[in-house]
Amino acid sequence: LQDISERKQAEEELARERRIADAETVVRLRIASMDHARDLFGVVAAIGDQLSALHVEHDSCTIQIINSEGTDFISCSRKDAGESNLRPLEILHSLSWEPASDNVSRYPWVCDVWRTGRSSYVPCTDDTSPLPQGLSLVDAAFSHGTLALNRLGVNAFDPAQIALIERFARLLTEGFSRFF
C-alpha cells in the first residue's frame, strides 16, 4: 500500500513538472516572438495566464523594466495595454533613458530587488505602503527588472508559488538578453 502511495505521489509530481514545462514553453514562445516593446503586453499576459493555470492566483501581474542606471523604471501589465500607455514603452529601444517618472522614489523596493537579485515578498501591506492596504506582493528579479504579482489578501502566496514566480522571472532573463 505504501508503494502504491509513493508511486502515485511520484506520478503527480511528474505531471506537475510537465504542466510547468508546458507553461514555460508558452511564455518562451511569446518572448521569442517579441519584435517591439509593445509586445511586452503579450508577454505579461502569457505569464499571468500561465501562472493562473498553475494555481498562482493573483490580481495583477506586472513586468517592471529598469533603466541601466537604476534611476527609473517602466511598468507593463495587462491593464496597461491601451493605446495611451504605449508611449512610455517607446523609450525601450535602449535601457539608457533619463528618469521620466517618480517610480523609484514611490516604489524603492523594485530597484532593490533588481540590484540584489533577491526576491521580495510582502505578505500584507499596511498604511505606510504606497500600495493598497492588505495586499500581498511578490517581486522577483530578472536581468532587466522585476516580475511582480500581487493579490488582495494577507499571505496570499506560499513558498511554492513564490518559487514558480521566480522561475518565470528567470524566463524573462533568458528572453530579454536577445531583445536588448
pLDDT in tens, 89-144: 666 666 777 888 899 999 999 999 999 999 999 999 998 898 999 999 999 999 99
CA gyration radius for the chain? 17
C-alpha cell at 85: 500607455
Q: DSSP 3-state assignment of 106?
A: helix
pTM of the model: 0.88
Tell me if 125 sits within 8 A of 139, measured CB to CB.
no
The answer, yes or no, to whether residue 82 has pLDDT greater than 70, is no
- Tell me what pLDDT residue 89 has: 65
**Confidence band (pLDDT; 50, 70, 90) for 9?**
confident
| Chain centroid to CA 137 | 11
C-alpha cell at 6: 509513493
